[in-house]
């Protein structure tokens, strides 16, 4: 049995990761700051029944948290590409500063870290599907801070011997997805019979990754990934927002009241992951198609709306 520290453990992906680790017989030491980026009560629901260390990585004493730990899954951070203006200092603190402190502490302690980065580091990518060696061109402050964290991991490898692997997640969805993310908003609107605001004309395309597939890749990276590796974690489906909405309507069995709005700053027109590197190195590939994944998320959303 291994003992892992999971940061961001009360979040969307983190809560699923804790469950998967425990299901395979490992111990998940859950840590979360319960920030108010979205309603902390939803994070409390994600963490129900689990003891969670409440700590802010930007200021906590990290050495004691790493004692007896075999590896760290670093999923904590400030999400959301709409990160311009007054919000930017929050991204600096919760992404860059928090990660810099954790990377240095983990390097000093000799503990491996798997870091949750993002496809946002590519921005409007130079080619699709996008390979890990593509030039990063982030167009949101969020993407810039995630790329900065990757560079910090490399710097801490050289300075402190940090053993780190960076995973670039591509639009992860499924049960417990954050309330600000598109599929939760679409499916909630369908369950409530309310309107959904679509930013842009619906032609933007995304590589969608089911949360169970993302968790499997994350665990495989900890167990078998080579030090310093960077992997795309994506696949399962690519669809335009119009196509994705049609699949949501099919799953829900009802039409969506769609209202179009102007495109938002920081949104890219397409994401699509080349996953050859992670497939060859770890034997991982996404296995969940969009309809099956959305059916699972619809079951979660409709049950949640029904309990109100």
- Catalytic residues, by residue number, are 142
Which position has the token pair 């969307």? 12
Write out the two tokens for 75.
């999923």
What's the order of all strands across the beta sheet hosting 172-173?
172-173, 205-210, 237-240
- What Å distances lie between residue 113 and 12, 98, 119, CA to CA? 19, 14, 19
**Alpha-carbon distance 243 to 208, whole Å?**
12
**Alpha-carbon distance 275 to 132, whole Å?**
9
**Alpha-carbon distance 58 to 4, whole Å?**
20
């Amino acid at each position: 049995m291994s003992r892992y520290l999971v940061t961001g453990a009360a979040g969307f992906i983190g809560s699923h990761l804790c469950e998967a680790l425990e299901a395979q017989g490992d111990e998940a030491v859950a840590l979360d700051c319960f920030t108010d980026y979205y309603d902390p009560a939803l994070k409390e629901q994600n963490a129900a029944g689990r003891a969670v260390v409440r700590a802010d990585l930007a200021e906590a004493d990290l050495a004691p948290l790493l004692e007896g730990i075999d590896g760290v899954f670093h999923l904590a951070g400030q999400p959301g590409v709409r990160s311009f203006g007054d919000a930017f200092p929050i991204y600096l603190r919760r992404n860059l500063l928090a990660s810099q402190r954790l990377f240095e502490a983990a390097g000093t302690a000799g503990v491996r870290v798997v870091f949750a980065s993002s496809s946002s580091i590519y921005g409007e990518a130079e080619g699709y599907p996008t390979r890990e060696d593509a030039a990063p061109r982030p167009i949101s402050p969020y993407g810039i801070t995630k790329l900065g964290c990757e560079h910090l991991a490399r710097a801490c490898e050289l300075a402190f011997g940090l053993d780190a692997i960076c995973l670039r997640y591509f639009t992860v969805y499924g049960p417990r997805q954050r309330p600000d993310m598109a599929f939760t908003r679409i499916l909630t609107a369908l369950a409530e019979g309310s309107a959904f605001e679509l930013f842009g004309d619906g032609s933007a395309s995304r590589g969608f990754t089911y949360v169970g597939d993302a968790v499997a890749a994350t665990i495989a990276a900890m167990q078998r990934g080579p030090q310093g590796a960077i992997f795309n974690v994506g696949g399962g489906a690519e669809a335009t927002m119009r196509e994705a909405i049609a699949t949501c309507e099919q799953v829900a069995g009802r039409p969506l009241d769609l209202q179009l709005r102007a495109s938002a700053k920081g949104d890219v027109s397409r994401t699509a992951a080349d996953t050859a590197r992670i497939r060859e190195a770890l034997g991982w590939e996404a296995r969940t198609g969009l309809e099956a994944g959305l059916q699972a998320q619809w079951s979660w959303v409709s049950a949640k709306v029904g309990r109100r």
